[in-house]
Chain A
Amino acid sequence: MTEVIFDKAFFSPETLKKAGYRFIDQFSVEFSSTEQSYVCRLIFKTNKTTEAIAALVKDFRNEVLDQDLRERIKQETEPVRNLILAHAFSKTSLVPHE
């Protein structure tokens, strides 16, 4: 088991869960929190070398950052995304026309 700690000021539990899910084939994650941090305990499915664990922890941290940015940018750009996608489908019979 390996602990990975994230500052609560920068990441949400949803982001950590999404990132953890991506590694479900390699390890499971046990979540807990302190006043300032989220603690992720990575429980590996099979025995791993120290190097392999370090590489997976690095990948997990990258995935958390990626998921965090995906979520934030997705929220920020929701109006333009919805507008453009709606425009794409606007002439189809999928969209009710008056």
Chain B
Amino acid sequence: MLSNFVGEYKILQREKLYSFARHQLPADDSDYIDLRAKQFLLDDSNSIAPQLLSIKTRTKYSRLADFTALHIFVVSLRCEHSCPYCQVSRQSEDRDSFDMTEEVADRSLELTFQSPSQNIKIEFQGGESLLNFDLIKYIVVQAKKINEKVNKHLGFVIATNLAPVTHEMLLFCKEHDIVISTSLDGPSDLHNKNRPRPGKNSYEKAIEGIRLVREVLGQDKVSALMTTTEASLNRVKDIIDEYIKNDFDGIFLRHLSPYGFAIKTKSYRAYSTERWLDFYKEGLQYIIELNKMGVPFREYYACTILSKMLTNSDPGFVDLMNPSGMGIAAIVYNYDGSVHPSDESRMLAEMGDNTFRMGNVLENTYEEIFSSEALVKPLEESFTLSAPMCSDCAFESFCGADPVYHYATSKDFLAKKPESDFCHRNMSIFKYLICLMEEDPYVKRLFFRWAHRS
């Protein structure tokens, strides 16, 4: 597989590759014509190729300067669930210790609107964010008031397990066009096993909450995320069927991350990367079969990668960005005012590691926070185009730097890529997606639609 600087790729038979490398591929060969069309080669008939490639490169990096669109407000660490893989939540009634105050929220909003991005999305997270719903209401009203002067595209998301949701809360969401992101790990037995809460009814609460959100806000105003635990590994079809049963049009098959309680409770090491890849591939095959049978359904991680492979625009997914999306695409204002460049890095901080702590909203200015060593150093050190193995990897354009993951697993922002599970996992997925497309024209057409979100 050959790829160019913007991630367009071309599969060549080995003999053709050698011939191309020796400048001996005939100009009338169909692969030669393809390579020329994608600016892999320059000859007398395409002198405009460098300009075309630079336009594509500019397009690819255009979103990068759209500095910090996603602003995550951790309004409370409190939660009534006790999920073993959860990174941060506290089972506590102590609002003073674990809830964000209006003072922290006000200052975080000031910083939010200093971001040059014209698009500002404020996401409320926890703990269980709805346990501090009064503060969510305060932040939404204040943000809209500030936005009257600056007129940005402002949106809101509440990440919640939906157990505490009420009709009144959703009426407020409707009034302010707030969308909901929730958790659904699979069928009842699996979901309730993964997500214990008093009453052992997390699944029932989530499903009832999803129904209520759709009734009040509309069908497309709720999305769901799943986390793969050891108990999920043999259940991928059940999990996908559960999403279809609940009228979702896709699923994000996520692996566990090496942060917080997932490390402490050993859930992160409960399965290997290989085992998760088997789970992922089985799930993706099943989704393709469903599409062939006329059931439109997507896998969102594949959609993100395919968008990088098959279009010139970058979806801006934090884990798959270079430079890393930390601080650039997303920023986290923690309940206590500390600022972190990603959700994962605040999880490290909750476990006592403040390597990525950029400052505190009550003590530091925007300039101090965004020029802090905690942000700039990992961004620079993890830059993949300067990294051994990444710099000449054909998949580099599809991949990302993810210094938080590499720091969490090896105490090194860059890490040695042959030892990196992140590298192994993503390279395996890239190869798998390309093989599927090359082997089956139907899959190629399907993936093209996924990439273009059509």
Contact = CB atoms under 8 A, between A and B. Distances in A.
A73 interface: yes
A9 B64 CA distance: 40
B65 A93 contact: no
Nearest to A85: B323
A90 interface: yes
Contacts of A69: 388
A84 interface: yes
A92 B414 CA distance: 26
Contacts of A91: 65-67, 116-117
Interface in B44-90: 61, 64-67
Given A84-B323, A88-B328, A91-B67, A73 B367 contact: no
A69 B418 CA distance: 14
A87 B328 CA distance: 11
Contacts of A30: none
Interface stretch (B126-134, B192-200, B379-387): B379-387
Contact of A70 (B366, B370, B414): B414
Interface in B386-411: 386-388, 391
A16 B133 CA distance: 55
Contacts, number: 60
A74 B114 CA distance: 32
A37 interface: no
Interface residues of B, number: 25
A52 interface: no
B386 A88 contact: no
Nearest to A88: B64
A81 B116 contact: no
A70 B387 contact: yes
Interface in B162-212: none
A62 B370 CA distance: 35
B379 A85 contact: yes
A73 B370 contact: no
B78 to A, nearest CB: 34
B388 A66 contact: yes
Contact of B416 (A66, A87, A92, A94): A66
Interface string A68-79: 011001100110
A88 B65 contact: yes
Most buried by A among B65, B114, B115, B370: B65
Query: Would you list the 9 A-B pairs with minimal beta carbon distance, nearest first?
Result: A91-B116, A69-B388, A77-B386, A88-B64, A74-B386, A90-B65, A91-B65, A73-B391, A81-B383
Interface of B: 61, 64-67, 114-117, 323, 328, 366-367, 370-371, 379-380, 383, 385-388, 391, 414, 416
Given A69-B388, A92-B116, 6 more contacts: A62-B416, A77-B383, A81-B386, A84-B323, A91-B116, A94-B371
18 contacts: A66-B416, A70-B386, A70-B387, A70-B388, A73-B386, A73-B387, A81-B383, A81-B386, A84-B64, A85-B380, A87-B65, A88-B64, A88-B379, A89-B370, A90-B65, A91-B65, A91-B116, A93-B366
